[in-house]
Amino acid sequence: IITLSDLECDYINARSCCSKLNKWVVPEVIGHAVVTVLMLISLHWFIFLLNLPVATWNIYRYIMVPSGNMGVFDPTEIHNRGQLKSHMKEAMIKLGFHLLCFFMYLYRLVSKNS
């Protein structure tokens, strides 16, 4: 979110912004897929079903990168067609999702040990 807002305010250029963001795309996809599979294996159905759409979206977004682009975040296209706003909106939604998951996991941890 901070990197995208820096780009929006023109504090950094599009190429450095996209290279910073693209280096975290693959670890995010792998990490979220692993967490989703672990929830399936451990039979935590509600959390699995909550994580499945986000993991599917991350995989879809990674697979659908057009050939010739630098990655999910491409410096030549980030200012076109409102992509910067959509990337910012997606980052805010993911932040809310991860905060919700954090508090759900924390509650389950505390309630299990009580």
Which whole number is the average pLDDT over 35-54? 93
Say if residues 20 and 66 touch (Cβ distance below 8 Å).
no
CA-CA distance, 32 to 38, in Å (whole number)? 10
Q: What is the pTM of this model?
A: 0.82
Type of residue found at 40: L
Domain ranges of the chain: 1-79
Q: Label residue 82 by pLDDT band (50, 70, 90).
A: confident
- Who's near 1: CB < 8 A, 6+ residues apart? 88, 91, 92, 95
